[in-house]
């Protein structure tokens, strides 16, 4: 009799049936993995004596919270074209966030030198983490390398839904201890994560479920413990999706905090104001980083004001069986992976005095090409039209880890800033030659290099011309940047929902968010990022469901069954910013890409509770569940 598949992630650990029985299985990093136990990763960390503090707390809230394997559902499906170029190399054109990682993975898969692989991306129709791994690339690459003929693969939506890499399904157990006055003293978080058949992002996503939720309550926290197991199952392999584990953990911890507020008869806004992390505090649960730029308190104050919290919380009966209710949540994320991510930029002066900016980060609709060009224009004191951006080519771009982990503005942006400063110095060297004076006697000025005494100057156009004739100083600069820290952006979100108790239908009428992303580089693009992330969070909370057939295949294999919200499904989303200044970021910036998806889940869940009196700890919260609970 054939062994049964491992389909229940609760029983996967130490199951008699092994998902990976192969003898050559190995873990490349020490993450607590053991294929003989179906473990992809396992770890425990803590600060203080959690059990002792919990035993001494007046109130202990315990809950188990479940989020499912949500799909990124980006507009453009996975697609890759491959050919052999005139030099006998494998040329790969793909819709990817990570050109350099694709080169590495394909070279390993085909067992060929990396020098034989050239990867580039053009415009991407959305990624959200789905294109942070190799999905479609390896198959046409193999065909082309074996046959010498061009090949392409374009996924259908059904293939995206069943053969992509969705969010990790997680079950998060929370124990939260507090005093009767609302002081949160201890947090104990355990996450069980379902990585599916392979360990794609398995060991890394899970860490964020604790490290990006527990630190929100650093202010009064005396002790914390965070433990996790990531298990292999015979489900579709999971991967990266915007929020990357923080989304799941924040849903659990923020819901537990809302449950505490309800138990104490306390306004959840007041409870958070009492306990939230403040600027200058060290966060033990966030790798002992210090919140040097933190406007979370101002975000809460402003969001409360914009939303009219006192008027809407907790619930209002509208008649006709409909009630309106409000909920609140906080969130944090990171800005790149500290000590790991590398961002790079090359900027060069070209004919007539314009600039070419080459980057290895991938714009997938996030607007990073525009933002990085803005930074370069600011540094070089020129118009935005004078900066031509070229992006994401493994041959031509300087090395960049790729567009993920909310890293581009913070990490690659700093590389742009450094490259521009270096280029200015080189331009001053060439300018000084043309002005027949020492380098120390000139400075860079808008569109020119001039003498400090103001007696003469030479234009960038003339310097560009000089660089092409009898010149020994390169008028270009390449800089890389990495950061030992990952300063978190913060956010507060408030939701107003209308619930029809008869049908269970929920409509989000208003969603108000205030975000601290440091100094917003481009407020319009930042606002669009926030609105999109909030919409995805609303979908996760209310409509995006995953169920499996008896073989473990996802039943929701089209956008008819997998219901992402449309513009008609949501009311008004309003976003504002409370600026802080992050010293280590370019122009004081932190990230914004991921933090914005994290607050809708707990905020909407709490609003639904306030409307119905029923606490839902599994997402999505469907009309059927609400109607049955009302009955």
pLDDT band for position 522 (cuts 50, 70, 90) = very high
Question: For residue range 600-610, what is the model confidence (pLDDT) as tens digits?
Answer: 999 999 999 99
CB neighbour class for 627 (10 Å; exposed up to 12, middle 13-18, buried from 19): middle
CA-wise closest residue to 187 among 143, 243, 136, 227: 227
What distances in angstroms separate CA 565 from CA 206, 362, 407, 562, one per listed residue?
26, 26, 27, 10
Q: Are 591 and 336 in contact (CB under 8 A)?
A: yes
Q: Could you tell me where the beta strands, DSSP code E, fall in 401-482?
A: 442-445, 448-451, 457-459, 476-481
Rounded distance between C-alpha atoms, residue 365 and residue 126, angstroms? 6
Instruction: Render the burial of 527-554: b for 16+ CB within 10 Å, e for the rest.
Output: bebbbbbbbbbbbbbbbbbbeeeeebeb
pLDDT band for position 319 (cuts 50, 70, 90) = confident
Rounded distance between C-alpha atoms, residue 569 and residue 587, angstroms? 37
What distances in angstroms separate CA 423 from CA 370, 380, 381, one per listed residue?
20, 9, 12
Cis peptide upstream of residue 175 (ω within 30 degrees of 0): no
Mean per-residue pLDDT over the chain, rounded: 96
Could you tell me the end-to-end alpha-carbon distance of the chain, in angstroms, rounded to an integer? 45
Residues contacting residue 533 through CB under 8 Å, at least 6 positions apart: 242, 243, 593, 594, 595, 596, 597
Q: How many helices (H) and strands (E) does the chain have?
A: 15, 23
CB neighbour class for 110 (10 Å; exposed up to 12, middle 13-18, buried from 19): middle
CA-wise closest residue to 193 among 183, 203, 185: 203
Q: What DSSP string describes 24-91?
A: T---SS-SS-BGGGTEEEEEEEEES-HHHHHHT-SEEEEEEEEE-------SSPPEEEEEE-TTS-EE
Adjacent-strand bridge partners of 401: none
pLDDT for position 453: 95
Question: For residue range 539-572, what is the model confidence (pLDDT) as tens digits?
Answer: 999 999 999 998 999 999 999 999 999 988 889 9
Rounded distance between C-alpha atoms, residue 481 and residue 471, angstroms? 29
The mean per-residue pLDDT over the stretch 460-479 comes to: 96
Q: What is the largest CA-CA distance in the chain?
A: 92
pLDDT band for position 111 (cuts 50, 70, 90) = very high
Does position 204 have pLDDT exceeding 90, yes or no?
yes
pLDDT for position 320: 87
Does position 1 have pLDDT exceeding 80, yes or no?
no
Question: For residue range 410-436, what is the model confidence (pLDDT) as tens digits?
Answer: 999 999 999 999 999 999 999 999 999
Q: Helix or strand or coil: residue 396?
A: coil
Q: Would you give the DSSP letter of residue 554?
A: B
pLDDT for position 567: 84
What distances in angstroms separate CA 628 from CA 27, 329, 377, 621, one per listed residue?
46, 26, 58, 12
Question: For residue range 114-163, what is the model confidence (pLDDT) as tens digits?
Answer: 999 999 998 899 999 999 999 999 999 999 999 999 999 999 999 999 99
Question: For residue range 165-188, what is the model confidence (pLDDT) as tens digits?
Answer: 999 999 999 999 999 999 999 999
Count of CB atoms situated within 10 Å of the CB of 290: 14
Residue indicated by tokens 């600026």 = 579
pLDDT for position 9: 98
């Amino acid at each position: 009799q054939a062994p049964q598949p491992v389909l229940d992630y609760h029983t996967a650990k130490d199951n008699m049936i092994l998902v990976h029985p192969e003898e050559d299985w190995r873990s490349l990093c020490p993450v607590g993995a053991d294929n003989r136990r179906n473990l992809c990763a396992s770890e425990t960390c803590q600060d203080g004596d959690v059990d002792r503090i919990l035993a001494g707390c007046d109130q202990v809230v315990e809950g188990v919270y479940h989020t499912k394997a949500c799909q990124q559902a980006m507009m453009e499906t996975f697609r890759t074209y491959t050919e052999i170029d005139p030099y006998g190399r494998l040329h790969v054109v793909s819709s990817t966030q990570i050109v350099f990682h694709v080169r590495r993975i394909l070279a390993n898969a085909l067992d060929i030198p990396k020098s034989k692989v050239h990867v580039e991306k053009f415009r991407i129709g959305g990624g959200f983490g789905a294109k942070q791994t190799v999905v479609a690339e390896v198959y046409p690459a193999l065909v082309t390398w074996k046959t010498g003929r061009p090949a392409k693969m374009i996924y259908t939506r059904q293939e995206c839904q069943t053969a992509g890499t969705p969010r990790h399904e997680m079950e998060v157990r929370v124990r939260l201890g507090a005093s009767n006055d609302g002081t949160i003293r201890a947090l104990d978080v355990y996450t069980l994560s379902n990585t599916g058949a392979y360990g794609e992002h398995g060991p890394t996503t899970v860490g964020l479920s604790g490290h990006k939720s527990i630190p929100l309550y650093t202010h009064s926290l005396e002790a914390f413990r965070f433990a996790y197991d990531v298990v292999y199952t015979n489900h579709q392999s999971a991967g990266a999706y915007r929020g990357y584990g923080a989304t799941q953990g924040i849903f659990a911890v923020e819901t537990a905090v809302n449950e505490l507020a309800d138990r104490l008869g306390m306004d959840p806004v007041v409870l958070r104001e009492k306990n939230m992390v403040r600027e200058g505090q060290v966060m033990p649960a966030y790798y002992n980083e210090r919140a040097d730029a933190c406007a979370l308190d101002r975000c809460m104050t402003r969001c409360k004001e914009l939303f009219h919290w006192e008027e809407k919380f907790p619930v209002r009966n509208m008649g006709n069986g409909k009630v309106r209710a409000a909920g609140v949540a906080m969130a944090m994320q990171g800005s790149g992976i500290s000590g790991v991510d590398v961002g790079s930029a090359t900027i060069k002066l070209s004919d007539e005095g314009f600039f070419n900016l080459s980057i290895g980060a991938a714009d997938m609709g996030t607007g990073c090409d525009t933002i990085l060009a803005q930074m370069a224009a600011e540094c070089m004191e020129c118009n935005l039209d004078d900066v031509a951006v070229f992006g994401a080519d493994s041959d031509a771009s300087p090395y960049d880890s790729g567009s993920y982990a909310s890293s581009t503005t913070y990490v690659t942006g700093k590389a742009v800033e450094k490259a521009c400063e270096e280029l200015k110095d080189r331009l001053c060297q060439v300018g000084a030659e043309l002005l027949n004076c020492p380098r120390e006697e000139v400075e860079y000025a808008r569109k020119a290099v001039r003498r400090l005494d103001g007696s003469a100057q030479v234009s960038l156009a003339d310097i560009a011309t000089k660089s092409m004739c009898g010149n020994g100083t390169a008028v270009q600069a390449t800089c890389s940047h990495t950061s030992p820290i990952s300063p978190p952006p913060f956010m507060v979100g408030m939701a107003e929902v209308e619930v029809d108790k008869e049908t269970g239908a929920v409509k989000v009428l208003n969603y108000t968010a205030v975000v601290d992303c440091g100094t917003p580089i481009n407020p319009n693009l930042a606002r669009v990022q926030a609105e999109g992330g909030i919409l995805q969070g609303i979908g996760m909370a209310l409509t995006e469901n995953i169920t499996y057939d008896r073989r473990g295949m996802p039943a929701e294999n089209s956008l008819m069954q997998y219901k992402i919200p449309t513009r008609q499904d949501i009311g008004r989303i309003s976003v504002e910013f409370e600026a802080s200044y992050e010293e280590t970021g370019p122009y004081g910036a932190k990230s914004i890409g991921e933090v914005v998806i994290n607050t809708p889940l707990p905020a909407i869940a709490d609003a639904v509770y306030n409307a119905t009196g029923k606490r839902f700890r599994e997402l999505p919260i469907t009309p059927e569940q609400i109607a049955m609970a009302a009955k």
